[in-house]
């Protein structure tokens, strides 16, 4: 554990440095913060014409998407791209020689970019929350704690699932595409396109047993006080089971994959 | 023994596909696979502190063997042991004692100065600060890295990068070095610098080195013992000079003549290797060299005579072309 912490400190330092080296890329990447805001603009237009939708008024939508936009950047994890690239090109060989699981390189790289989120997007969202009228959250200590926990769980789920998809690269070159298909479904069922309570009932039921909701919908609902404690617990449990299942699949595929890894190139 | 390899066998499944859309479609349904045996029942041992050169043409199985020994590949049969570990289990204690330098692979962080990679490696290998500083100082001096440390890696030349690559691979003081084409693509000066460094490093720390290279000079300069591998099979394991004597039982006589002579007079003395006006090269049996030399001086109008060993590149080429067994 001590070794791992040391390694993370070193990797993290370098990865934040890399993220800051690519200043232009960082700016462009920040702009993707705008996509959820486009969804917000659509909903606001609807509310202005037709009045509250499914119990969401103007302030509710703004509150929802302000947090949703940050989470959309912060909670999603794309380890599949690292795994896929390094397995197919044989770059993985360089990592396998080190006394540290390659997983930690990719995770620390992703976390390096998340630091930018924390430093820039979070203050931005906080200022907006204070300035925009009608923005409201249920800020009890218990809810804040549950929110933080649900965000960390959401990240964990995405780390495990994107790694499990990455392992497919040992067998076919399609792991990226499969992951993108999966993420596409996630756009709808995470609550990013619209808050889940606005969906037809059967889709809400499907979303309740899938892991996507843990990325956006559930944490936002917890912060806004729109879910009770029982439903919160249930949502977190479903997420935890997905994280556990995906993690197990990832590790089993990793073992099997290494046996057939061909260390191509060089 | 630092390295012990018994009957090591590794095969790959290679998937064949012709170019074009039609073949892509056909490949979706029926794929043609071929099993390629890259390494066939290879056995050898290397003692601690030894430098052993791995010779063989492209695709002979050199790199595959190194990758098995470094734990990157799982062998199909046979066993390998390095410092008492089974490489493909990739135990932390094992990985901390070895390194594999691949001339075509890069571990340096591309967008940052090399120093950042060194610090990351320090963290990953858990090298204590004092030890790290001492090792770094020494490597910087031996490889002349001082002016390179603060330059972005992508701005370095190939030779400079390779030096940094070597330093990054040695900061944890590995006891076994696997070097796969460490001088690939480097100019003669950089090649010599890397070679000198490896020799000095080996002498100072008695590290075990297993080295492959296309540049024969790397091997002759560093290794007394060579392993010759071809088509996955070990063809020779032993002293480099013995290999030369065994496979090239001749020497070269280079003559400069005063006037042209009949080629029949030359073939009487030895096999004509080349004949270019007044410049003649003859192959003569190793043990008859002195005798032939006397005959040449007595019977031919010579201006100058030189006796030479055949170039090692040529010997190795002969070895692979004739495919003879010389184990």
Domain for residue A175, yes or no? yes
With H, G, I as helix, E, B as strand and everything else as coil, classify residue A133. coil
Q: What is the mean pLDDT of chain B?
A: 88
Domain for residue A266, yes or no? no
Residue B323: pLDDT band by 50, 70, 90 thresholds?
Answer: low
pLDDT tens for each residue of B158-184? 889 989 999 999 999 999 999 998 888
Total tally of structural domains belonging to chain B: 2
Domain for residue B191, yes or no? yes
Residues in chain A within 8 Å Cβ distance of B103: 266
B152/B261 same-domain check:
no
Domain for residue A265, yes or no? no
pLDDT tens for each residue of A209-255? 999 999 999 999 999 999 999 999 999 999 999 999 999 999 999 99
pLDDT tens for each residue of A178-211? 999 999 999 889 998 899 999 999 999 999 999 9
Domain for residue A194, yes or no? yes
Residue B327: pLDDT band by 50, 70, 90 thresholds?
Answer: very low
Query: In this complex, do B104 and A10 lie within 8 Å of one another by their Cβ atoms?
Result: no
Nearest to A265 by CA among A86, A84, A81, A80: A86
Q: Of all residues in chain A, what percent carry a pLDDT higher than 70?
A: 99
Spacing of C-alpha A153 from chain mean position: 10
| ipTM attached to this prediction | 0.84
pLDDT tens for each residue of A60-95? 999 999 999 899 888 999 999 999 999 999 999 999
B113/B184 same-domain check:
yes
Domain for residue A30, yes or no? yes
Query: In this complex, do B106 and A21 lie within 8 Å of one another by their Cβ atoms?
Result: no
Query: What does the alpha-carbon distance between residue A158 and residue A141 come to, in Å, rounded to a whole number?
Result: 26
**In which domain, by residue range, is A249 found?**
2-260
Domain for residue A72, yes or no? yes
Domain for residue A190, yes or no? yes
Total tally of structural domains belonging to chain A: 1
Domain for residue B52, yes or no? yes
The first and second tokens of residue A102, run together, are 């390659």
Residue A107: pLDDT band by 50, 70, 90 thresholds?
Answer: very high
What is the H or E stretch that residue B273 is in?
A: strand B271-276
Domain for residue A111, yes or no? yes
Residues in chain A within 8 Å Cβ distance of B88: 258
**In the predicted model, what is the mean pLDDT of residues B107-125?**
93
Query: In this complex, do B119 and A13 lie within 8 Å of one another by their Cβ atoms?
Result: yes
Whether residue B63 lies within 8 A of chain A, CB to CB, comes out as yes
Domain for residue B33, yes or no? no
**In which domain, by residue range, is B166 found?**
3-11+43-244
Lowest mean pLDDT among A5-9, A42-46, A153-157, B76-80: A5-9
Residues in chain A within 8 Å Cβ distance of B124: 7, 10-11, 98-100
Contact B194/B162 with Cβ under 8 angstroms?
Answer: yes
Query: In this complex, do B119 and A14 lie within 8 Å of one another by their Cβ atoms?
Result: yes
B237/B268 same-domain check:
no
B163/B276 same-domain check:
no
What pLDDT was estimated at residue B68?
Answer: 96
Domain for residue B318, yes or no? no
Q: What's the CATH code of the domain at B263?
A: 3.30.70
Q: How far is CA A249 from CA A167, A172, A242, in A?
A: 9, 17, 10
Query: In this complex, do B67 and A9 lie within 8 Å of one another by their Cβ atoms?
Result: no
């Amino acid at each position: 554990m001590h070794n791992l912490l040391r390694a993370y400190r070193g990797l993290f330092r370098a990865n934040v440095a890399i993220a800051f080296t690519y200043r232009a890329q960082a700016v462009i990447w920040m702009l993707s913060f705008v996509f959820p805001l486009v969804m917000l603009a659509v909903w606001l237009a609807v509310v202005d014409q037709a009045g509250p939708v499914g119990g969401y008024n103007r302030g509710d939508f703004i509150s929802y998407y302000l947090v949703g936009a940050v989470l959309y950047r912060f909670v999603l994890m794309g380890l599949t791209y690292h795994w896929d690239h390094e397995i197919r090109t044989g770059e993985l060989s360089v990592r396998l020689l080190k006394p540290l699981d390659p997983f930690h390189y990719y995770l620390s790289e992703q976390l390096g970019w998340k630091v930018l989120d924390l430093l820039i997007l979070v203050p931005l969202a906080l200022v907006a929350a204070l300035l925009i009228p009608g923005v409201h959250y249920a800020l009890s200590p218990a809810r804040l704690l549950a929110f933080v926990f649900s965000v960390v769980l959401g990240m964990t789920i995405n780390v495990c699932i994107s790694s499990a998809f990455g392992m497919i690269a040992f067998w076919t070159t399609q792991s990226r595409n499969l992951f993108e298909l999966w993420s596409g479904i996630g756009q709808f069922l995470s609550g990013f396109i619209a808050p889940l309570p606005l969906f037809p009932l059967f889709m809400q039921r499907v979303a309740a047993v899938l892991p996507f909701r843990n990325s956006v919908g559930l944490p936002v609902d917890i912060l806004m006080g729109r879910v009770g404690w029982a439903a919160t617990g249930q949502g977190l449990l479903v997420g935890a089971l997905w994280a556990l299942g995906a993690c197990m699949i990832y590790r089993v595929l990793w073992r099997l994959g290494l046996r057939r890894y061909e260390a191509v190139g060089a | 023994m630092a390295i012990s390899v018994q009957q090591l066998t590794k095969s790959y499944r290679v998937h064949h596909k012709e170019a074009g859309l039609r073949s892509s479609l056909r490949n979706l349904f029926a794929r043609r696979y071929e099993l390629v045996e890259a390494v066939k029942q290879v056995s050898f041992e290397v003692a601690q502190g030894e430098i052993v050169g791995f010779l063989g043409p492209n695709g002979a199985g050199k790199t595959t063997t190194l990758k098995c020994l470094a734990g990157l590949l799982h062998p199909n049969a046979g066993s390998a042991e390095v410092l008492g570990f089974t490489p493909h289990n990739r135990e932390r204690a094992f990985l901390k004692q070895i390194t594999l330098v691949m001339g075509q692979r890069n571990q340096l962080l591309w967008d940052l100065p090399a120093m950042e990679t060194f610090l990351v490696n320090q963290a990953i290998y858990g090298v204590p600060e004092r030890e790290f500083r001492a090792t770094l100082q020494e490597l910087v001096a031996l490889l002349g890295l001082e002016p390179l440390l603060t330059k972005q890696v992508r701005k370095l030349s190939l030779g400079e990068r390779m030096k940094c690559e070597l330093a990054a691979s040695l900061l944890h003081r590995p006891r076994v070095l696997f070097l796969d084409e460490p001088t690939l693509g480097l100019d003669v000066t950089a090649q010599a610098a890397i070679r000198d460094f490896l020799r000095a490093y080996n002498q100072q720390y008695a590290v075990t080195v297993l080295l492959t290279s296309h540049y024969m000079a790397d091997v002759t300069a560093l290794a007394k013992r060579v392993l010759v591998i071809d088509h996955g099979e070990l063809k020779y394991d032993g002293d480099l000079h013995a290999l030369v004597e065994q496979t090239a039982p001749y020497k070269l006589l280079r003559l400069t003549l005063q006037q042209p002579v009949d080629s029949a007079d030359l073939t009487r003395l030895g096999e004509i290797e080349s004949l270019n006006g007044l410049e003649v090269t003859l192959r003569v049996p190793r043990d008859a060299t002195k005798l032939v030399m006397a005959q040449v001086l007595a019977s031919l109008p010579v201006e100058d005579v030189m006796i030479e060993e055949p170039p090692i590149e040529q010997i190795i080429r002969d070895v692979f072309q004739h495919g003879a067994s010389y184990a």
